Amino acid sequence: MSKWIDAAETALTAVFEETKIPYEFEFWDVKKRGELPDTYIVYFLVSEPSASSADNKERSCIPKVQFSLFYRDISVMQSIPDKIIKAALTAGFTRVNSGRIPRKNDSGHFGWRSDFILYESRGN
């Protein structure tokens, strides 16, 4: 079983406890969760390349996970990305890059994203 999901949940739970910014896996389901909040986070698996194998079995992998922050108030950029990065690093991730997400005209949200990797041993 992938450990990245547990690590991502640990990181985002810490961010939520500090900021009360809600988060969701893969996408914000408006039918399930209701209208888009002013600020929210979505995380998802970007890729999960094998890192090593032996005896025709995968022994380790390095999943890349993206945390995407969406916000309507630009002042969110002053502190929330740093909180996300700190929580992800504390949960065991390594940050590999980050950048802006173009403004969504339909919702008025701006965006920021950061990709993280996490080494996972696959055991026997």
- Residue 63 CB: number of other CB atoms within 10 A? 22
Name the amino acid, one letter, at 88.
Answer: A
Question: Is the model's pTM score more than 0.85?
Answer: yes
Q: Where are the chain's structural domains?
A: 4-97
Does 43 score more than 60 pLDDT?
yes
Does 1 score more than 70 pLDDT?
no
One DSSP character per residue, 40-69 reads EEEEEEEE--EEEEETTEEEEE--EEEEEE
Does 25 score more than 60 pLDDT?
yes
3-class SS shares of the chain: helix, strand, coil, % to 5? 30, 40, 30
In whole angstroms, what is the distance from residue 21 CA to residue 54 CA? 42
pLDDT digits (tens, 9 = 90+) for 75-111: 999 999 999 999 999 999 999 999 999 999 889 999 9
pLDDT of residue 113: 98
pLDDT of residue 33: 80
Q: How many residues does the chain have?
A: 124
pLDDT level of residue 34 (50, 70, 90 thresholds): confident
Distant-in-sequence, close-in-space partners of 8: CB < 8 Å, separation ≥ 6: 43, 65, 67, 88, 91
Does 118 score more than 70 pLDDT?
yes
pLDDT of residue 32: 83
